[in-house]
């Protein structure tokens, strides 16, 4: 297999366990019994696919970029994707996909359980919520290009090394702990952060979720 680092990389994450699903000959990586990634092996026990869970839009985007990423092998084709074990997908892309899969399943657990798992490395779930209500742990670039809004003090990768306009307004100019303290939420700055790949409905849902996180 081209990616021999996968096992060590995944088992280093808090709460991750693995087992062998003998019927399919898959090595499964799980959090609290919920699979987020698997190495699929052939009859000679040689890996031929690395399968992981992703948000549907992310999976679709990546499949268009790399021919060695396909819809989930023997899995739901919307939520799972598979990478050829000896394909041409760069290591850093696969690493980011696996990180995303981990975060996706971790966030499906109760808040209490998330805290218990993340306390293994002294990271609190709330540390990953930015001042604008975005979940940095859900971002495609978290753990790769970016450590999150709070850790970067607003100087996230998409701001070109400068302080994000929302962070500057919230933390620097108004000294709010989050935009949840502002009576203008959601303001024009937040409404101007729309991902062009989102539909109107998806963006409205995203803003609503951010406001809900901030208002608690």
Q: Is there a single domain that holds both residue 97 and residue 174?
A: no
Q: Is there a single domain that holds both residue 28 and residue 98?
A: yes
Residues 131-152 have pLDDT tens digits of 999 888 787 666 555 667 887 7
Q: Kindly report which listed range (60-64, 65-69, 113-117) carries the lowest average pLDDT score.
A: 113-117
Residue 163 CA to residue 31 CA, distance in Å, equals 35
Residue 109 CA to residue 89 CA, distance in Å, equals 30
SS3 for 3-52 is CCCHHHHHHCCCCEEEEEECCCCEEEEEECCEEEEEEEECCCCCEEEEEE
Q: Report residue 31: phi and psi, to 5°.
A: -125, 120
Residue 78 CA to residue 41 CA, distance in Å, equals 22
Query: Is 114 domain-assigned?
Result: no
Q: Is there a single domain that holds both residue 74 and residue 146?
A: no
Query: Is 37 domain-assigned?
Result: yes
Nearest one of 112, 124, 132, 97 to 211, comparing CA atoms? 132
Query: Is 119 domain-assigned?
Result: no
Q: Is there a single domain that holds both residue 164 and residue 136?
A: yes
Confidence of residue 155 (pLDDT cuts 50, 70, 90): confident
Residue 211 CA to residue 216 CA, distance in Å, equals 8
- DSSP tag of 120: G
Confidence of residue 197 (pLDDT cuts 50, 70, 90): confident
- The total number of structural domains in the chain stands at 2
Q: Is there a single domain that holds both residue 10 and residue 102?
A: yes
Q: Is there a single domain that holds both residue 41 and residue 131?
A: no
Q: Specify the CATH number for the domain of residue 48.
A: 3.90.1150.30
Domain, as residue range, for 101: 6-106
Query: Is 117 domain-assigned?
Result: no
Phi/psi-derived region of residue 33, left when phi > 0, alpha when psi is between -120 and 50, beta in every other case: left
What pLDDT is recorded for position 69? Answer: 95
pTM of the model: 0.56
Mean pLDDT, the chain, rounded, equals 87
Residues 65-113 have pLDDT tens digits of 999 999 998 898 889 999 999 999 999 999 999 999 999 999 998 888 8
56-65 vs 91-106: helix crossing angle, rounded to 10: 170
- Report percent pLDDT > 90 for the chain: 53
Query: Is 100 domain-assigned?
Result: yes
């Amino acid at each position: 297999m081209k990616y021999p680092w996968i096992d060590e990389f995944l088992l280093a994450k808090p709460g991750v366990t693995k087992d062998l699903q003998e019927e399919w000959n898959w090595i499964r990586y799980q959090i609290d019994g919920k699979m987020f990634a698997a190495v699929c092996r052939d009859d000679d026990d040689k890996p031929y696919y690395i399968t992981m869970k992703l948000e549907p839009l992310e999976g679709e985007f990546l499949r268009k970029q790399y021919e060695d990423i396909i819809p989930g092998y023997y899995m739901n084709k919307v939520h799972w994707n598979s990478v050829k074990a000896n394909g041409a997908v760069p290591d850093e892309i696969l690493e980011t996909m696996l990180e995303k899969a981990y975060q996706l399943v971790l966030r499906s657990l109760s808040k209490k359980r998330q805290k218990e798992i993340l306390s293994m490395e002294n990271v609190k779930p709330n540390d990953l919520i930015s001042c604008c209500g975005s979940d940095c742990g859900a971002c495609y670039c978290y753990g790769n290009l970016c450590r999150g809004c709070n850790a970067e003090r607003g100087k996230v990768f998409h701001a070109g090394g400068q302080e994000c306009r929302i962070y500057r307004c919230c933390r620097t100019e108004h000294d709010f702990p989050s935009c949840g303290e502002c009576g203008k939420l959601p303001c024009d700055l937040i409404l101007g952060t729309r991902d062009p790949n989102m539909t109107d409905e998806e963006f409205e849902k995203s803003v609503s979720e951010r406001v809900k996180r901030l208002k608690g």
